[in-house]
Amino acid sequence: MASDSQVKIQASQGNLKYVSLVTLTVQNAALILWMRYVRTRDVDEMFISATAVMLAELSKCVIALLIILYQERSVSKWLDHLYQNLILNPMDNVKVSVPAFVYVMQNNLQFLAVSNLDAATYQVSYQLKILTTALFSVGMLNRRLGALQWIALVILMCGVALVQLQSSTSKGSDGKESKHQNALVGMIAVITSCLMSGFAGVYFEKILKGSPQSVWLRNVQLGFLGTIMGLITLFVKDGKEVSESGFFKGYDWAVWLAIMLSSAGGLLVAVVVKYADNILKGFATSAAIILSCIISIYFFNFQLSIQFVGGATLVMISVYMYGRFPYVAPAVTEASSNA
């Protein structure tokens, strides 16, 4: 009976692994495509992107709170859990405030990037976060990379460079050069966002591994602190426009959907980290790139070129290589151990 139950548990975890990966693939592609759509569509009033970033952080916090409530099975236990881990541990909140601030800045840059780059180009270029994450992991976590992983990072840079070569010479998504679109601004936003993503991800991993708090509790902290910092950023950057036009200027169902997709992304990553390995995450990334390209062709008049196909292929190969060939420490021989 015990073996049967173990088999069922393993089968259930296997199903969760693939379901979470498929969901993450769809979410990754849908988020970028939808962000591109809501930032480039023809509307009377365009929403203020900083308000969407703040609301996405708030949504992430609320969802994580509900998940913890479900786990605790009691409102009193839930409140006590939050009190013990958040109120009585203020210095821990200070540590989490660092990645929370960086994530808010990164999310604001994502809106800037998709406003200036087509969805497919952004999806491929954003894989530079693998490079920045690897470099920060080596520097902050003393992690070792295998020779093939370093080669994969070089291939990744070559692939993104090819894609950007097309982006710098191509027209807007409607076949004409858009006066509101600047590929250089978009690429600078992507690179800066990747740097922030790499730093925040590694810093957050370091916090997770050095404390007993759950991923969901960390998401409550990130969401709550991100909401506060997002509000501060909003009024520093767009305070005048908010006071004149209102917080919800330009909002409709499409903007709310973009916010929900954004907040769901951070929570999905937590599930994937728990149930999937790097190889499967690499496949999910490649699938999201392909899906974004296909949808961009049909709905955004995106035109494939030899440079883009070659660059995207190199990026997908590098993503697979980086996850498939991790660093393996050399085995300690008996002679060396006795020396």
List pLDDT tens digits, range 316-332.
888 888 878 887 777 65
Pick the residue with more confidence: 286 or 102?
Answer: 102
CA-CA distance, 243 to 285, in Å (whole number)?
Answer: 40
Specify whether the CB–CB gap between 102 and 225 falls below 8 A. no
Within 10 angstroms of residue 252's Cβ, the number of other Cβ atoms is 12
CA-CA distance, 252 to 114, in Å (whole number)?
Answer: 19
- Would you say residue 36 has pLDDT above 60? yes
- Per the document, the length of the chain is 339
Find, among 129, 130, 126, the residue nearest to 312 by Cα.
Answer: 126
Please report how many Cα atoms fall inside a 13 Å half-sphere around the Cα of residue 229, on the Cβ side: 21
- The whole-number pLDDT of residue 54 equals 94
pTM of the model: 0.82
Query: The tokens of 337 are what?
Result: 């151990």
Which residue has 């994969």 as its token pair?
Answer: 152
Which strand (E) or helix (H) includes residue 31?
Answer: helix 2-40
- Would you say residue 226 has pLDDT above 90? yes
pLDDT band at residue 207 using 50, 70 and 90 as cut-offs: confident
Q: What per-residue string of b and e applies to 18-49 under the rule 16 or more CB within 10 Å gives b?
A: eebbeebbbbbbbbbbbbbbbbbeeeeebbbb
Which residue has 């406003």 as its token pair?
Answer: 115
Pick the residue with more confidence: 150 or 337?
Answer: 150
Q: Which amino acid is at 281?
A: K
Pick the residue with more confidence: 299 or 11?
Answer: 299
Within 10 angstroms of residue 184's Cβ, the number of other Cβ atoms is 11
| Average pLDDT for 132-147 | 87
- The whole-number pLDDT of residue 127 equals 86
Burial class (CB in 10 A: 0-12, 13-18, 19+), 78: middle
